[in-house]
Structure 1
Amino acid sequence: MAQTILITGASSGIGKVTAKHFQAQGWNVIATMRSPDKEEELTELDNVLVTRLDVTDEASIADAVAAGIARFGQIDVLLNNAGYGAYGPLEAFPMERIQRQFDTNVIGLLAVTKGVLPHMRANGSGTIVNISSIGGQMTFPLGTLYHGTKFAVEGLSEALHYELAAAGIKIKIVEPGMIATDFGGRSFDFVNDEAMTEYQPVVQALFGAWGSPEMTSRASQPQVVADVIWQAVTDGTDTLRYRAGADAVELLDNRKALDDATFIVGLKAQLGLDKL
């Protein structure tokens, strides 16, 4: 019997590529997104159910889980992939956008997890993969909100790793580095107020560094992450954390090996912030 994975945020990027990867390996896929009526490619694939799920809407979560079970009989894997990045000076962010960042990346992830846990617990098995980031272990300037959510994902996932083992459920964390997706488009929420002149040199330096050929050339394709997700789901181990991308390995190795002061000085130099 084919196994089934439910993926949040499957309309583009990592989520969509992972849906196609698992389908190609013979899995059933519940590909969820906020606007399934706009999806054309995944709907043409065999054994793929495209359905609505908004991680901030509990009713849509329950409906998607029920629809997936009705179609395929069981959910073996949950991939919590939906999310976006809010960047900019904290002082410039209105509270409603701060709330939205945490509602999507943290509260929404917890809500979807709660939505599948009764089913997995009743089956005595299951795997939950949470997409974190190198930004769950280290930070970049202006990422107070995004990194706050990803550090939260790391912590809650590690705690669940202990908690759910008795129920036969595995927790996995995938930490991508820079990925060539639309993160800088619809999955990126940038807020700035140029009247706050003190922050503008940091804004300019960061975007200059991120847009440089050196940085963009290090970005991995989404398939790199899909391959790591596949490994996490199928390797049969209790490994908790998986890095995705050569830059993720390099940066996180450095973060682990160096003390705070040394790492921060090096990152400032790499981003051109040492000149400010």
Structure 2
Amino acid sequence: MDRKVILITGASSGMGKETAKALIGQGHTVYTVARRIEQMQDLESLGGYPIQMDVTNERDIQNVVDTIILKEGKIDVLWNNAGYGLYGAVEDIPVDEARKQFEVNLFGLASVTQKVLPSMRKAKSGTIINTSSMGGKMYTPLGAWYHASKHAVEGLSDCLRLELKEFNIHVVVLEPGIIVTEFGDVMLQNISAFSSKGYYASLTGKLIAATKKMYDSGRGSKATVIANTVSKIVKSEKPKTRYRVGLWAKPMVWMRIYLGDSLFDKIVMSQV
């Protein structure tokens, strides 16, 4: 097997952790980073290399990349997976909170990419996987800032793919659907904090109820579907530009593209 050096951000839980376990098990050299290093000790016991890092801290990022290059001489795969969902009405969300959403979901992703690229260009080889979402192609009420950040990831990734083609560096967009992770809990915390009162109380209550019902029923896909998909990307010499996986990912994006705004609006609102 072609063993690769892989860097995964946002690996302390959910999709990142599950995938890291799978890749370590396949014999790859896997570096995992997150703010909560205490939640990655199990990865170290499996043979991974956890390092504490905040994707919004430039010095943190540079130190991690330098450490990996010094030890391994290269980074074959970068998976920009760190992110979270800020939910609440546009009128209610403080702009400073919206900036934090973009700092993590977009600018953090871009900063890690910038610091990994010199070694990939030198090697004329590499794969960058950017975690977007089905939410990068469609929208839901009270999710404006989250969706905006993921739409931005889509645009950045498309431009980056064209820029890096001559260096034989692949850029892949991962578009998960509903995956059973901590994402739902964080989303509900944000809604409760920013939009539980006032003019949007009715809509907020309906969205909270619908979200809890969905997650409590266990209807979301397991994180293993992401692990299997990323493993496939890592192995591929010519990965696809997009991988849309998990509950609702393909049908929701299909409906957004082909049904038009008015009909899609009705479908989305019928769920809340």
Residue 263 of structure 1 aligns with which residue?
A: 264
Residue 129 of structure 1 aligns with which residue?
A: 129
Equivalence map 1:95-174=2 (5 Å): 95-174=95-174
Residue 67 of structure 2 aligns with which residue?
A: 67
What is the Cα deviation at residue 40 of structure 1?
A: 2.0
Residue 192 of structure 1 aligns with which residue?
A: 194
Task: Give the 3 Å change call, closer, same or farther, for CA 217–81 of structure 1 in structure 2.
Answer: same
Task: For 2:113 and 2:119, locate their aligned partners in 1 and report how far apart those are by CA, in whole Å.
Answer: 11
SS at match of 2:41: coil
| Counterpart residue type for residue 13 of structure 1 | G
Task: For 1:193 and 1:2, locate their aligned partners in 2 and report how far apart those are by CA, in whole Å.
Answer: 47
| Counterpart residue type for residue 140 of structure 1 | T
What is the Cα deviation at residue 222 of structure 1?
A: 0.8
Residue 83 of structure 1 aligns with which residue?
A: 83
Question: TM-score by structure 2 length?
Answer: 0.93
Residue 274 of structure 1 aligns with which residue?
A: none
Q: Which runs of 5+ in 2 are unaligned?
A: none
Task: For 1:98 and 1:27, locate their aligned partners in 2 and report how far apart those are by CA, in whole Å.
Answer: 36
Residue 178 of structure 2 aligns with which residue?
A: 178
Residue 234 of structure 1 aligns with which residue?
A: 235
- 1:206 maps to 2:207: yes
Give the conservation status (yes or no) of the 8 Å contact 1:175–1:244.
yes
Residue 43 of structure 1 aligns with which residue?
A: 44
What is the Cα deviation at residue 12 of structure 1?
A: 0.7
- Aligned-CA RMSD value: 1.8
| Counterpart residue type for residue 153 of structure 2 | V
Task: For 1:76 and 1:226, locate their aligned partners in 2 and report how far apart those are by CA, in whole Å.
Answer: 17
| Counterpart residue type for residue 180 of structure 1 | V
Task: For 1:210 and 1:87, locate their aligned partners in 2 and report how far apart those are by CA, in whole Å.
Answer: 12
SS at match of 2:205: helix
Question: TM-score by structure 1 length?
Answer: 0.92
What is the Cα deviation at residue 26 of structure 1?
A: 0.9
Give the conservation status (yes or no) of the 8 Å contact 2:195–2:204.
no
Task: For 1:246 and 1:52, locate their aligned partners in 2 and report how far apart those are by CA, in whole Å.
Answer: 31
Give the conservation status (yes or no) of the 8 Å contact 1:218–1:247.
no
